[in-house]
Every structure is written in structure tokens, then in C-alpha cells.
Amino acid sequence: MGLQPLEFSDCYLDSPWFRERVRAHEAELEKTNKFIKELLKDGKNLIAATKNLSAAQRKFAHSLRDFKFEFIGDAETDDERYIDASLHEFSNFLKNLEEQREILALSVTETLIKPLERFRKEQLGAVKEEKKKFDKETEKNYSLLEKHLNLSAKKKELQLQEADNQVEQNRKHFYELSLEYVCKLQEIQERKKFECVEPVLSFFQGLFTFYHQGYELAKDFNHYKMALQINIQNTRNRFEGTRSEVEELMNKIRRNPQEHKRANHFTMEGYLYVQEKRPTPFGSSWVKHYCMYRKETKKFTMIPFEHRSGGKVGDEELFILTYCTKRNTDTIDRRFCFDLEASDRPGVPVTMQAFSEEDRKLWMEALDGKEASSLIFNERHDCNGVLKLFKPFFLLIGAQLDKIGFTIIKKCISAVETRGINDQGLYRVVGVSSKVQRLLSLLMDAKTCSEVDLENSVDWENIAKFIMSSLFYRSLPEPLMTYELHGEFIIPAKSGSPESRVNAVHFLVHKLPEKNKEMLEILVKHLA
């Protein structure tokens, strides 16, 4: 199996396997560069001294025999096989001339040394410069992207738009450079087949003119030489003929990368940042993964991969997707996020971040994602079935940590603490459904909230039971302690000493959003 072909469409995915194929091509060119250096060194030694000619020829023959051109694809063409075998044939000719002690003609420098040196410096050297630019742009692109994704969603819209535009421009530049680099790699892989072999062929032509006893060998060589020239010319002609087609294909893909995306069995694939929880009090980290999803089987695969750490591929993780939910910016301080839940880890969502809003839409569409709904989560955690009873009503009122929500809580807590209440199960028993709904509809309306008289015994009984039974808190879009910090609040409960628990909880409370902390303070002071 030879080198894997480099597809222009893969430049836009920039997958780990694409990077491996690029590195394989780079390694092949580096091997070619080392081979040419060695060949040039051997050729100069051959010209320099007659006494070293025999040893130099053996070494030169050895170098030719051991080197093999790697072909691209699954099978070689006849010309490629002939060109590939040519170096071995050259080595055989050298073995037959081992006893000859003639000095090579001065023309050898012009026919062998200079062309190879020129190819190595101009062509292979140009590839090295392109590689430096490509590596530098890779570092710049993903560094800028990571910095961009760390931007707070609370920044001004104009700042976010400017940042988005900058990232998009940088991404386009990165894709452009990637396309050019892949094209250059393919060009050199083809060019070396005649640029390397043709000077060697010229060297052999000159070599036989300086060996009187090589006349018969030269006649035998002539037939092989002609066939090889045809193969070289065929390869050159194909290179020149397909070069324009390759450029046309590259431009075609550049204009619409998504349309020319390579067909495979994955519904969606690409890079996502995955939130990984750490032990308290270290919070969480975001790790870049290459993710793949098949809608037919609902199999979601993700592989850690970091371009800047040498391109090492991490361990693959596969799970069956249960559901996908969009994360709004009021529940997390990052943009372009969504949650996934695996069938083997129910109730433990995995938060992921796309590179852009458009990227998130593509993922959400492929994963059959839904808009965030606090009611779904609350129904799962409602032990008394109360939310099921008031489901239509909660959808209507939409409890929030806003001015009205704070006003309701403060008025009711103040009334409880001022009047007191003599009732069993204050924090879990709900009042009459119709009365609770009527009072809540008045309280949740900014126009009628001030008109509610909590001194009225009937009104007071129902609203107090509602507030103290925590239904208001359970109908919020997100718990006071937030989904993001839920797992971290559980960890201190397993801690050994009370002091360590207090310190851990104190640290986590200060990570809560300001409105959550304010409401939590009101509730805790009341309960205390």
C-alpha cells in the first residue's frame, strides 16, 4: 500500500487522518531530500578522486538499489512501475562497471549534480517553506479560534460580530493555505519522478562515453534508456495535462466546500470542544475532540486530538445518543453550546461547543436537537407529581429570576416571617389548585402584582403554601445551583471533614451567577 491520496475536500475537515496523510507525504519528501543529498555526495566523490571511484560506485549503486518511489493510491501504473524499477536497473549497471577506474567527464556536474541540487533547493526547499507557513497558520488558526470561543457571551454584540468576522477571515485564509499546501505536496510527489530520475539517466549517458570497454553495455543500455525516456515523458505529459484539471478541481471545491464533501457513512463529523469536569475546586476544562455521528444507529464517536501537541490521536469514545438539547447563553458563559445525553449515562449530560452558530445548527440538525426546555428536566426530578399537575400553567407564567420573581419571593417570605403560619408540611404541601393558579396569575403580572393582598386569609394560605413548597423554584429554567455546578456541589457531600465541605461549598457558591447568588441568599436567610 502506497501513500494515501490527499483530497482537497479534506482541507476543510482537517481531520486527524488527513493530518496523518499529510505527515506521510512530508516524510516521503524528506526521505527524497535525504536521498538526493546522499546521491549528490556520492556523485561528487565519484568525480573527485579516481582511487575512491570503486567505493563511491558501490555506495552509489547501493543508494540507487535501496531507494523506492512511493506511489499514490492502490495500484501503480506501468510507467510508475518502470520508473520505480529504473533505480534498481541503474544499480546493476554500476556493478558491471565496478572495475573501471575512469574519471567521470566534467559534464557530469552539469547533467547530474546541478539538476538534482536545483530540484532539492528550489522544489523541496519550497515545500519546506510552505510547511513552515502551514504549521504557523495552523497554530494561529486554532489559537485564535480557542481564544474566540472563550469570549464571554455577555460582551457587546458589535464586539462579538467583529470577533466572528475576524475568525471567519482567518479560517478562510487557513483553508486557502491548506489547499495550496496540499496542491504543492501532490505536485512535488509527481515532479520528483522525472526530476530525480532524468538527471540520473543523463549521468549514465555521459558515463558510457568515458568507458572504452563499456561500449557493449552502452548498446544494451540503449534499449532500456529509450523505454525509460518514454515512461518519463509519459509521466511528465500526464503531470502537465492533469495540472490544470487539478487546479480547476481545487477552485471548484474552494468555491463550495460543503457541496463537494467526500461521501462517507457519517451523517455529521468535525471538531467540537467537550467540557470535562474536574474535581472541586478546579472547575472544568474544554478539550477539542474530533466527533462523528451516524443517525441510523445513533452512534456518536469522539476522539481527543490536539493539533499543537504533535497530532497524537487519543482514545476513542463511543456512545448511543439519547437526546440533544441546545444550551442558551443564559445557562452557560459560552456560545454555540449544546448538551448530549448517552444511553448508558442517563441524567449526566455532556456539554459540547461548536466553532460557530452555523456549525452548531448543522450539528443540531444532524443530531435532531431540540430547544432547551427547563420543564423536561424538572418533570424528571418532581417526586410528588406537582409539576405534572401544573404543567400547562407553568408553561404559561414562565417563572424567572427577574424583578417580578424577586418581588414575589420577598413579599411572601416577609409575610411568613411577619405573621407566621400554623400549617403542617409547609414546604411540601400545595394549596388548592384553582386558587394557587388564580393567585399566581395575578402575581406574575406586573400590572396586578401590587394589588394582591397577602393579608387576606384565603389568598395568604394558598400563596404561602405555593412559595414554601418550592414550586416556584422548581419551575425556573434552571436550578439555583445551576446544572453546570450540580456535580461539583455533590462532591463535597462525600468529603471527610466539615471544614473541607464548608470551604468547597463556599468556593462553589461564589461561582454562581449574580442573580442566583442573590436569590439563594434570600432563601437561606429565611430558612435559617
Residue 31: pLDDT above 60? yes
Pair 222, 311 in one domain:
no
CB 85 within 8 A of CB 195: no
In the three-class reduction of DSSP (H, G, I as helix; E, B as strand; rest coil), residue 211 is classed as: coil
Pair 362, 410 in one domain:
no
Amino acid at 150: N
Pair 112, 227 in one domain:
yes
Residue 4 resides in a domain: no
For position 301, what pLDDT does the model report? 94
Note the pTM of the prediction, 2 decimals: 0.43
Reported confidence tier of residue 376, pLDDT bands at 50, 70, 90: very low
Pair 18, 50 in one domain:
yes
C-alpha cell at 368: 435532531
For position 158, what pLDDT does the model report? 85
Residue 207 resides in a domain: yes
In the three-class reduction of DSSP (H, G, I as helix; E, B as strand; rest coil), residue 248 is classed as: helix
Q: Which residues contact 413 (CB under 8 A, 6 or more apart)?
A: 467, 522, 526
Residue 354: pLDDT above 90? yes
Pair 226, 357 in one domain:
no
Instruction: Please compute the mean of the pLDDT values over residues 503-512 and round it to a whole number.
Output: 87
Residue 118: pLDDT above 80? yes
Reported confidence tier of residue 168, pLDDT bands at 50, 70, 90: confident
CATH of the domain at 41: 1.20.1270
Residue 91: pLDDT above 80? yes
Residue 492: pLDDT above 70? yes
Pair 169, 224 in one domain:
yes
Pair 347, 395 in one domain:
no
Residue 271: pLDDT above 80? yes
Residue 326's DSSP bridge partners are 338
Identify the residue with better confidence: 189 or 208: 189
CB 116 within 8 A of CB 196: yes
Residue 406 resides in a domain: yes
Neighbours of 4 (CB within 10 A): 16
Q: CA 400 → CA 64, 337, 478, 524, distances in Å?
A: 78, 21, 9, 19
Reported confidence tier of residue 188, pLDDT bands at 50, 70, 90: confident
For position 426, what pLDDT does the model report? 56
Give the burial string for 400-422 (b: 16+ CB within 10 Å, else e): ebeebbeebbebbbebbeeeeee
Lowest-pLDDT choice from 12-21, 153-162, 288-297, 441-450: 441-450
Residue 41: pLDDT above 80? yes
Instruction: Please compute the mean of the pLDDT values over residues 302-313 and round it to a whole number.
Output: 79
**Which of 320, 351, 372 is the last residue in one of the domains?**
372
HEC-encoded secondary structure of 371-383: CCCHHHHHHHCCC
CB 415 within 8 A of CB 465: no
Q: How far is CA 26 from the centre of its chain?
A: 21
Concatenating the DSSP letter of every residue in 459-484 gives HHHHHHHHHHTTHHHHTSSS-TT-ST
C-alpha cell at 286: 474544554
CATH of the domain at 349: 2.30.29.30
Residue 213: pLDDT above 90? no
Residue 5 resides in a domain: no
For position 352, what pLDDT does the model report? 93
Give CA–CA dist 265/45, Å, rounded: 56
Pair 163, 297 in one domain:
no
Pair 422, 521 in one domain:
yes
Domain limits for position 301: 268-372
Residue 374: pLDDT above 60? no
Identify the residue with better confidence: 460 or 298: 298
**Which of 255, 286, 305 is the last residue in one of the domains?**
255
Which residue is associated with the grid cell 544499480? 91
Alpha-carbon dihedral angle through residues 482, 440, 372, 275, given to the nearest 10 degrees: 0
Give CA–CA dist 516/283, Å, rounded: 18
Residue 233: pLDDT above 70? yes
For position 290, what pLDDT does the model report? 93
Residue 2 resides in a domain: no
Residue 514 resides in a domain: yes
**Which of 234, 255, 276 is the last residue in one of the domains?**
255
Which residue is associated with the grid cell 432563601? 523
Residue 387: pLDDT above 50? no
Lowest-pLDDT choice from 89-98, 99-108, 165-174, 474-483: 99-108
Pair 202, 289 in one domain:
no
Residue 513 resides in a domain: yes
Amino acid at 475: S
Kind plus residue range of the DSSP H or E element containing 450: none
Pair 400, 357 in one domain:
no
CATH of the domain at 388: 1.10.555.10
- Tell me what percent of the residues of the chain surpass a pLDDT of 90: 10
Q: How many domains does the chain have?
A: 3
pLDDT tens for each residue of 407-429: 777 877 777 777 666 665 555 55
Residue 1 resides in a domain: no
Q: How many residues does the chain have?
A: 528
Give the chain's mean pLDDT.
78
Identify the residue with better confidence: 54 or 32: 32
Residue 433: pLDDT above 80? no
Give CA–CA dist 179/32, Å, rounded: 22
Q: How far is CA 521 from the centre of its chain?
A: 41
pLDDT tens for each residue of 323-347: 899 988 878 888 999 999 998 888 7
Give CA–CA dist 347/350, Å, rounded: 10
Pair 359, 386 in one domain:
no
Residue 373: pLDDT above 60? no
